[in-house]
Structure 1
Amino acid sequence: MARQELLMLFVSIAVVLFGSVCGRIPNMLRGRPKGGMLGAPANPGNINLPPDMWFTQKLDHFNEADTRTWQQKYSLNDTFHTPGGPVFIMLGGEGPANAIWLVEGAWITYAAKFGAFCLQLEHRYYGKSHPTPDMSTKNLEYLSSEQALMDAAVFIQYVKMKFNLTDNKFVTFGGSYSGSLSGWFREKYPHLVDGAVATSAPVFAKVNFLEYLGVVRDSLGTTGSTCNQNIAVAIVKFSNMMAIPAKRGMLEKLFRLCDPIDHYNAPDVANLYSTLAGNFEGIVQYNKDNRAFEGAVDTKVTIDTLCEIMSNESLGCEVHRYAAVNSLLLDTYSQKCLDYKYSSMINDLKKTDWNSTAAEGGRQWMYQTCVEFGWYQSSDLSDQPFGQHFPLSFSVQQCADIFGSKFTKSFIQDSVEKTNTNYGGYGLKVTNVVFPNGSIDPWHKMGITKNLSSLAPAVFINGTAHCANMYPPSPNDSEQLVQARTFIMGQISDWIKK
């Protein structure tokens, strides 16, 4: 492949994964790309989408003395519905609820087959669903998975009465964090839902998610041994140059940094290493699956292409190739330089206004990781190519710097343990739930990849990435992915039988 063609391919993948939104908040923040972990699909043919609808929801479901309410967004598609047919509900996650999902995706294929009434419920604090006047730390007290699950429970009761669906079977759907919610909803409210699809669902909360980079390493390794080796060499050379004042100036130019490197500013240095690793994390997490559905310019960009860049000697030595990746991303966002300063990132994430860059979802997701889940993609795993330059302490410090001094490591650990006690972690007790995961996706390490029981099966799909089974079928789908969608359809059929 010619150098220019390779560069153009890389620009295409950057546009798809990260969009045109730019700012100081990293494109990958704790495993979450801007827009949310369930990709925002394109609108094929600019078709008309269902309008936003609104439902009056309680602010605090667990305090009867608090009577405050807010308006939660939902939308629906009843074009497939037949009398007595099931009700499908896609639960929102850590991003805006995109109405394109009501006309596209594997679940719409299922809806057409089973005559389902389809609804999508946006998660509180994300998208247009604003329960409080701002996102101050005090107001974020009402942002939790438990509140979101109760939102869904109250919403289902409302839907049953409003649309005369009291005798119909209900099935929830979700991908990534919303996949966790889908499975947990069936666990907590089995009287309200008859089955659940929990795609790419991390169900085990863990403070130090060091396995994440292990899967990134393994996924890059599917192209051969040189990709990880070249990244590791690039990191070593980068680190050696960082230690020499004259060489730091070279790095500043090579990586187009907005500010000079202060080698003694540990948070800045960690944030720089983490941001550059994030360029690779985002590509691995989503890889090649459903790229056309997500609006890609080129549907053939894969991990193979990324590793070809790292092995392309015409781009220079390994550290130059690492820098070329960064430059292409900067150009994609029309950014002149990389703002890697830790203080800049923290200041953005401390913004509380709904019109701020943080309101896209970065601040809210950061808060949820600090009070419920952890899932910090640290560099603490020794056998991975990105070095050990952004340890767990780096992520913990962000919680304290953004939300307050009480957010210590022990506070976060206690919160994570509470989450696992509440839901069960890997040992959650559920029936009528299916757990699809892809081997390329780093999040599968926090999910269910082996059957919990015959009534709670896992579907582990080799070669696929995050939420792949949720997207529309493609001629390029692997046989395992095709079989996974068929299996899920069979599970739904069993759940909704009278």
Structure 2
Amino acid sequence: MGYFSRVRGLLQFICILLLVSNCHGLLQRRKARRSFKTSVIKSESVRSDLLSQCTLYWRNATLNHFSFVKYKGVDKAFKQRYYVCSNYWKAPTSTSGPGPIFFYAGNEADVLLYLNNTGLMWENAPSQGAMLVFAEHRYYGQSRPFAPWPKSGLKPYQLDYLSTEQAMFDYVELVDEIKKEFRAEQAAVIAFGGSYGGMLAAWMRMKYPHVIDGAIAASAPIWNFFGETPTYDTGSFAQGVTYDASMEAGSSRNCVYNVRAFWSTLSRLAQTPEGCALINQNLNLCPDSTVSSPSDAEAVRDWIADAWDNMAMGNFPYASGYILNGDGQLPPFPIHEACRSMATDVPSDMDLLQGMAGAIGVYYNHSHLTPCFDYKAGVNDETDAVDMLWDFQWCSELFMPSSTDGVNDMFWPAPFDAAAAAADCRASWQVSPRPLHAQREWGGRRIEAASNIVFTNGLLDPWHGGGGLTVPVGA
């Protein structure tokens, strides 16, 4: 069998298995900035049976692949982490070529999170004789340029090398190094990725087809940008979250209605001191994190909506710590669990407040050890660290608009304000978004020249609205 026939056969085999899979993403909407931390997964959350099959490697990664000039005070390289798991790999012999390389294009978290949760790679490695490689995305996990990082965080110029293009070229060099080290120059390389990692996998196949022979892009919202034709529906993410909370998706009958009613109740109560007291008591807010004004209530609103967004992204049918970056665990179908607290038929103000406290507790009190809620804090340090770095990427090159309307979703009317978002990005990072950058760089929906890319989307995943749900004309 020829090389390209082997690649096509391998992708077809994996596609059959994908028909019964449902992959959700980690990619997050833009959030408020919090203190700067590092995004390292807790070691006790990693499956030892998987990790024991892998070898940890470090490489000297080039900081700036696209400049030949060394700037004063800027190092040329940084230490990048990756894992090679070769137990099942079919090494080349005198009579047969090597087995394929399954390459996980790491996204915005510690690489061990993906080693621990990318079951499709592990499940297919034995039958395909595949080597597994899990690469860590620059700046995330322990692959940190300019390390050690100060508590105050990196300066904007130090974050200038945090981009998809730089990360992808890291992976191009890594594939080349691995092939040489293992004498696997003829091995087919299949890139895997979920959410942002799925975007990277697909884009690598498009941009570096001589390096990546095929890609499995799960929950990859590559069309979640300005400039698409037809236009991307900015409300699709919120509609996806709402679907997860609906009866059609298995949630309680009144959940969507009651969640939608909660926002106006919160806003109305925040107008008076008595109403603020009801909010603080029934939402179980901590004494140093109380609501005393309408602006406080807006901050609480956004913090609560963040819980629903993340529970929808982690709405797996089994218990999982994936969406918590390995620090804790959500129950099976966390949205269903949250909706049980929002099931009252004719709720009073107190019912809505207490019900919402129970609902967001599925996420913010996943440990069942949180005595009260601090709406000024995230769910854990690991997730805060990811959010911080992702915020820079969102502000610079991955300007992904989202909106809510309170009619087709269970939130409140909030059209996307690109000008306000850009102003906030300048204030936060001293960068201005380039709204059309992704569409111009990667081609938007005009990817008919690409090949050997499998896009998979679970309809319970709210990112599917920006994913590859249809085959481009001419593909």
TM-score of Structure 1 vs Structure 2, range by shorter chain: 0.7 to 0.9
Structure 1: distance between partners of 2:329 and 2:166? 39
In 1: Cα distance, 2:160 partner to 2:330 partner: 42
Residue pairs, 1:283-298, within 5 angstroms: 283-291=311-319
Q: Is the 8 A contact 2:254 2:344 kept in 1?
A: no
8 A Cα contact 2:192 2:216, kept in partner: yes
From 410, 416, 431, the equivalent of 1:385 is: 410
The amino acid of 1:75's aligned partner reads Y
Q: TM-score, normalised by structure 2?
A: 0.75
1:435 aligns with 2:442: no
Q: How does 1:136-285 map to 2 (within 5 A)?
A: 136-206=155-225, 209-221=234-246, 222=248, 223=251, 226-257=254-285, 258-263=288-293, 265=295, 268-285=296-313
Residues 117-167 of structure 1, C-alpha deviation per residue, up to 9 Å, x if partnerless? 211111000001012234321100000000111111111111121111111
| Equivalent-residue separation in structure 2 for 1:101 and 1:454 (angstroms) | 35
Which residue pairs with 2:30 in the alignment? Answer: 30
Residue 298 of structure 1 deviates from its aligned partner by: 8.3
Deviation at 1:369, TM superposition (A): 0.5
Moved more, 420-429 or 71-80: 420-429
Task: Give, in angstroms, the shift of residue 339 of structure 1.
Answer: 3.3
Give the secondary-structure state (helix, strand or coil) at the position aligned to 1:81: coil
CA separation of 1:62/1:431 partners in 2, compared to 1, >3 Å: closer, same or farther?
A: same
Instruction: Give the residue type in structure 1 aligned to 2:275.
Output: K
Corresponding residue for residue 338 of structure 1: 373
Amino acid at match of 1:446: G
Give the length in aligned residue pairs.
408
Closer, same or farther: CA 367–253 of 1 in aligned 2, 3 Å: same
Q: How many Å apart are 1:291 and its aligned residue?
A: 2.8
Task: Give the helix-richer structure, 1 or 2.
Answer: 1
- The 1:193/1:362 distance shift into structure 2, 3 A limit, reads same
Tell me the equivalent position of 1:470: none
- 2:113 & 2:392 partners in 1: Cα distance? 26
- Native 8 Å contact 1:102 1:118 kept in 2: no
Residue 217 of structure 1 contacts residue 384 of structure 1 at CA under 8 Å; is this kept in 2? yes
After superposition, the Cα gap between the structure-2 partners of 1:210 and 1:151, relative to the gap in structure 1 and judged at 3 Å, is same
Q: In 2 relative to 1, CA 419–99 (structure 1 residues): closer, same or farther, beyond 3 Å? A: closer
| TM-score (normalised: structure 1) | 0.72
Query: Larger deviation: 245-254 or 416-425?
Result: 245-254
Residue 205 of structure 1 contacts residue 420 of structure 1 at CA under 8 Å; is this kept in 2?
no
- Name the counterpart of 1:107: 121
**Alpha carbons of structure 1 residues 291 and 435: separation in structure 2 relative to 1, 3 Å:** same
Match of residue 322 from structure 1: 356
Q: Distance in 1 between matches of 2:88 and 2:474?
A: 30
Q: What letter corresponds to residue 182 of structure 2 in structure 1?
A: F
Code of the residue aligned with 1:400 in structure 2: it is R
Aligned residue in 2 for 1:471: none
Given that residues 88 and 173 in structure 1 are in contact (C-alpha distance below 8 angstroms), is that contact kept between their aligned partners in structure 2?
Answer: yes
Residue 369, structure 1, aligned to residue 394, structure 2: yes
Q: Is the 8 A contact 1:42 1:293 kept in 2?
A: no
Q: Once the 2 structures are TM-superposed, how far is the Cα of residue 297 of structure 1 from its aligned partner?
A: 7.2
Amino acid at match of 1:323: A
Between 56-65 and 388-397, report the one with greater CA deviation.
Answer: 388-397
Q: Mean Cα displacement is larger for which, 40-49 or 371-380?
A: 40-49
Equivalence for 2:335:
303
Give the distance between the partners of 2:313 and 2:40, measured in 1 at CA.
12
What is the aligned partner in structure 2 of residue 75 from structure 1?
A: 83
Q: Which amino acid aligns with 2:444?
A: G
Contact 1:379–1:392 (CA<8 Å) still a contact in 2? no
**Is there any run of 5+ residues in structure 2 with no aligned partner, and where?**
1-23, 33-37, 93-97, 227-232
Q: Do the aligned partners of 2:239 and 2:408 also contact (CA within 8 Å) in 1?
A: yes
Alignment of 1:21-100 (within 5 A): 30=30, 42-43=46-47, 48=52, 50-66=54-70, 68-82=76-90, 83=92, 84-98=98-112
- The aligned counterpart of 2:8 is none
Q: Percent identity?
A: 23
Distance in 2, matches of 1:293 and 1:320, equals 26
Q: Deviations over 1:159-218 (max 9, x none)?
A: 121111111111111111011000000000001111111111111243694321111112
SS at match of 1:416: coil
Aligned residue type for 2:373: L
- Deviation per CA, 1:224-282, whole angstroms, max 9, x where unpaired? 652211111222222221122321121122223333434354xx443321111122222
Measure, in 2, the Cα distance between the counterparts of 1:42 and 1:139: 30
Return the alpha-carbon distance in structure 2 between the equivalents of residues 252 and 141 of structure 1: 41
Deviation at 1:422, TM superposition (A): 0.4
Post-superposition CA distance 1:21-59 (Å, at most 9, x none): xxxxxx976389x9799xx97516686252421111111
Aligned to 1:474: none
The residue type paired with residue 131 of structure 2 is F
- Opposite residue 125 of structure 1, the aligned amino acid is Y
Q: Quick one: which amino acid aligns to residue 277 of structure 1?
A: A
1:94 Cα deviation from its structure 2 partner: 0.3
Q: What letter matches 1:52 in structure 2?
A: L
RMSD: 3.6
CA distance in 2 between counterparts of 1:359 and 1:260 reads 21
Letter of the structure 2 residue corresponding to residue 121 of structure 1: A
SS in 2 for 1:275: helix
Distance 1:418 1:293 in 2: 33
Q: Kindly provide the amino acid, as one letter, of the partner of residue 293 in structure 2.
A: H
The alpha-carbon distance between structure 1 residues 130 and 448, as it changes in their structure 2 partners (threshold 3 A), is: same
